[in-house]
Amino acid sequence: NSNEKMSRGALIVLEGLDKSGKTTQIKSCLEILRADGFDVCQLSFPDRTTSTGQLISSFLREQTMLDDRAVHLLFSANRWEKWKEMNDWLSNGTSILVDRYAYSGVAYTASKGYDLDWCLGPDKGFIAPDLVVYLSAPSTVLQGRSGYGEERYENKAFQSRVSETFGKLKTKKWLTVQSDRPIEEITHDIITPMRNIIRSCQSGSLKLGTLWK
């Protein structure tokens, strides 16, 4: 029956500049949501464990040179590899917390000067998130965080451009949170919207969409 409401998991994405606190927040939110009794799992992009992921990782550590557009397509392929698994989880009622997504893909490549429409192309049709939490902090603050500068792209001038490009990708599903604050305060602000979106998806009132809508 096509009118029947389908319960499903929610797709929740965390985005932001390098060192904005995404990984830390995913860890604490995952614990809280699981303690609440929600069925939640976690993913991060790039997934450095697959063969495309290893090429990407080597590029990010500046051990390999690759054409910017070839790398862009690799990042996208690295997501498409996960499409089936993600789709299965969501249909089976498991929610997913994702560390970076196609928005990072577009923001980083477009910030190098490539055409925005070209950058959007490869991820067209991929699963659209139900909620995007954008952790926002001035690049001057992030620059002081430990490990900053170890990988490609981690410099202030480039990060400011990436931040501007992220701004162009925001939709109604984005929640922007100031992230130069104590970890617990940020978690407090984002956990309720996460619980709410998971409940809405469980109730079957939200259909799964595709990028770039």
Beta carbon of residue 144, minimum distance to ligand NYM (angstroms, whole number): 17
* Residues linked to residue 176 through DSSP beta bridges, in sequence order: 134
CB closer to ligand NYM out of 9 and 16: 16
Nearby residues of 29 by Cβ (< 8 Å), 6 or more positions away: 97, 187, 190, 191, 194
Q: How many CB atoms lie within 10 A of CB 25?
A: 25
- What one-character-per-residue DSSP string does 113-152 give? T--HHHHHGGGTTSEEPSEEEEEE--HHHHTTSTTTTSST
Q: Which residues bind ligand NYM (CB under 6 A)?
A: 18, 45-46, 60, 75, 100, 104-105, 108, 151, 153
Q: Which is nearer to ligand NYM, 6 or 70 (CB)?
A: 70
Q: How far is the CB of 23 from ligand NYM (least distance, A)?
A: 7
Residue that has been written with the tokens 């699963």 in this structure: 127
Identity of the residue, 60 or 211, whose beta carbon is nearer to ligand NYM in the bound complex: 60
CB of 102 to ligand NYM, least distance (A): 7
Residue whose CB is nearest to ligand NYM in the complex, by number: 105
Cα–Cα distance measured from residue 181 to residue 138, given in angstroms and rounded to the nearest whole number: 12
Contact, 10 vs 95, CB < 8 A?
yes
The residue to which tokens 């067209």 are assigned = 124
**How far apart, in whole angstroms, are the C-alpha atoms of residue 166 and residue 3?**
37
Nearer to ligand NYM, 75 or 89 (CB): 75
149 or 204: whose CB is closer to ligand NYM? 149
Q: How far is the CB of 49 from ligand NYM (least distance, A)?
A: 12
Place of tokens 């499409």: 83
- Residue closer to ligand NYM (CB basis): 60 or 206: 60
- Contact status, residue 29 vs residue 194, Cβ threshold 8 Å: yes
Q: Give least dist CB 179 to ligand NYM, A.
A: 14
State the DSSP H helix or E strand holding residue 81, giving kind and residue range, or none if neither. Answer: none
| Min separation Cβ 40 and ligand NYM, Å | 20
